[in-house]
Amino acid sequence: MDLSRAPPEKIWRHLKESEQVRNSKFETRYARMNPPAELYRPVANLRTFGPNKGLLEGRRLSEGDIKGLTILVQFKDVKSNVTQEDVDRMLNGENYTENGNFCSAREYFRLMSGGKLNYTNVVVGPITLSKNRQYYANHLLVEEALDMAIDSGVDLKIFDSQDEGIVDAINFLYAGQTQYIGELWPHNYFLKLKRGNMKTHFYMLSSLGRSKEDMSIGTFCHENGHMLCRWPDLYDYGVRDGDFEKSAGLGYYCLMSAGNHNNNGRVPSPVCAYLRYLVGWCDNVVRLTRPE
């Protein structure tokens, strides 16, 4: 590239894709968050309609002892000095406050649920994939990473709390900073793979960071809010909301809007009362209507 030459016509700084193109990409990506609809059920979507229809379609695991599998992933060209022990403390630790985090992911869900959800994770890895990071922007890393974890001795049966032959939750955390491109974009998807007598269901993929100073619980809790509780996002989807009004949704006041980014993800907002009510976490309901 000759940097001394002028740019082509109609090319200017900060040029972005049109809103139509961006929305089309988002629609494709979010469609993969839901399992295929059964013949007798409506196609799932991400809108919130009220107490009976406010959750995403699919298997919900918002109470009891739930054990997730977290696989740490490295690339041939990108590594991290974050250790298995570092991640285990962030996900499972008691009185965890390292790096400015308010608490561990387990403690966050325990607090939000009033003790109804005990979500722990078995952390394995890091495992090193066969290609450089850029390759996995266009090729989903999930199947390769899962097979390598199984080959290392991981038994998927211990992650089936309902004894249904389905893995409750799988988290893939890749080395390096977050990549907002292709299949490396942090996401929560449905993917059906069969390994022995076990099937996968929902999984989450996000970044691990370059060092332990990058570690935060916000995105992990947000994506597991989708995966375990089937909560929708509560930020503005633009035209996907059925309107053309610009808004901030619930802004920084809920984990499932922009609240997972508070203090760089280290102090995520509480889950709003509406979403906690939908999964049965509100034991005391105060009705503000005046009695007749």
- 67 inside domain: yes
Structure confidence at residue 244 (pLDDT): 62
- 133 inside domain: yes
- 219 inside domain: yes
Q: Could you read off the pLDDT of 14-62 as tens digits, one per residue?
A: 666 776 776 677 667 666 666 765 533 434 444 555 555 789 888 899 9
Entry pTM: 0.80
CB 72 within 8 A of CB 208: yes
- 237 inside domain: no
- 166 inside domain: yes
Pull the structure tokens for residue 180.
């907002």
CB 235 within 8 A of CB 249: yes
Pull the structure tokens for residue 246.
């610009």
Structure confidence at residue 37 (pLDDT): 57
Exposed/middle/buried for residue 161 (C-beta within 10 Å: 0-12, 13-18, 19+): middle
Q: Could you read off the pLDDT of 88-137 as tens digits, one per residue?
A: 999 999 999 999 999 999 999 999 999 999 999 999 999 999 999 999 99
Q: Which residues contact 129 (CB under 8 A, 6 or more apart)?
A: 73, 74, 75, 76, 136, 141, 144, 145, 148
- 257 inside domain: no
In this prediction, residue 154 has a pLDDT band, given cuts at 50, 70 and 90, of very high
Structure confidence at residue 165 (pLDDT): 95
CB 195 within 8 A of CB 160: no
- 251 inside domain: no
- 269 inside domain: no
Number of domains in the chain: 1
Share of the chain above pLDDT 70, in %: 79
CB 120 within 8 A of CB 106: yes
- Whether residue 273 is predicted with pLDDT greater than 60 in this model: the reply is yes
* Range(s) of the domain holding residue 225: 61-232
Structure confidence at residue 33 (pLDDT): 67
